[in-house]
Amino acid sequence: MARAANYDRDGALDAAMILFWRKGYHATSLKDLEAALHMKPGSIYAAFESKENLYLLAIERYFEASLKGFRAEMSKAVTPLAGLAAQFQNYANLAQEDSSRQACMLMKTVVDTASTDPKIAAASLRYLDQMCGEFAEAFEAARAAGQLPCDADPMRLARRFQANISALRVELLRKTPQDDISKLAADMAKETMALGISH
pLDDT in tens, 24-80: 999 999 999 999 999 999 999 999 999 999 999 999 999 999 999 999 999 999 999
Q: Which of 89, 123, 118, 90 is nearest to 106 (CA)?
A: 123
Give yes or no for residue 5 having a pLDDT over 70.
no
Chain-centroid distance, C-alpha 57: 14
**pLDDT for the residue 135:** 98
Burial 148-164 (b: 16+ CB within 10 A, else e): beeebebeebbebbbeb
Task: Indicate the pTM of the whole model.
Answer: 0.91
> 54-193 is classed in which CATH architecture?
Orthogonal Bundle (1.10)
Convert the pLDDT of each residue in 6-15 to its tens digit: 668 999 999 9
8 Å CB contact between 169 and 91: yes
- Those residues whose C-beta lies under 8 Å from the C-beta of residue 116, and which sit 6 or more positions away, are 26
